[in-house]
Structure 1
Amino acid sequence: MSEMPFNVDVWVDDRDDGTFVIYIDRDLITERGAGALQQLLGTTIAGWRRLDDSHVYATLRAVTG
């Protein structure tokens, strides 16, 4: 049984301060896997960019309702 809201597996919170918080259902990942994911994301974060155009928001609305 999922512990995430609305039975989603992964949730990304794009915060106003420019940070992202990624939540992953604990049934999907081990402690070792979480550490590896954190290390991977930490090494690639310099290449991330926020997409704020209308197409992105329209796609999110279509997927999330």
Structure 2
Amino acid sequence: MSAMPCNVDVWVDDRDDGTFVIYIDRDLITERGAGALQQMLSTTVTGWRRLDDSLVYATLRAVTG
């Protein structure tokens, strides 16, 4: 993806349906690297969990403004 929001290099869209999409600036990753990242994320997905407690949100607000 080019022209990332807020000029960031990586953007994660956490969707209401429990899925998320990772966007990475094209200048930062090759097609081979993107495939490897997708494979790595797909094999570890069963161990993921969403952290929705107040500390996570407070930290995110502190970092992102």
TM-score normalized with structure 1 length: 0.93
Residue 31 of structure 1: aligned partner: 31
Q: What letter matches 1:26 in structure 2?
A: R
- Residues 3 and 26 in structure 1, CA contact (< 8 A), matched pair in contact too: no
Specify the code of the residue in structure 2 equivalent to 1:24: I
Partner amino acid for 2:34?
A
Runs of at least 5 residues in structure 2 that lack an aligned partner in the other structure: none
Quote the offset at 1:3 in angstroms: 2.0
How many angstroms does 1:16 deviate by? 0.3
Secondary structure of the structure 2 residue equivalent to 1:59: helix
The number of residues matched between the two structures is: 64
Taking structure 2 as the reference length, what is the TM-score of the superposition?
A: 0.93
Query: Deviations 1:8-47 (Å, cap 9, x if unpaired)?
Result: 1111111000001111111100000000000000000000
Q: How does 1:1-65 map to 2 (within 5 A)?
A: 3-65=3-65
Q: Gapped runs of 5+ residues in structure 1?
A: none
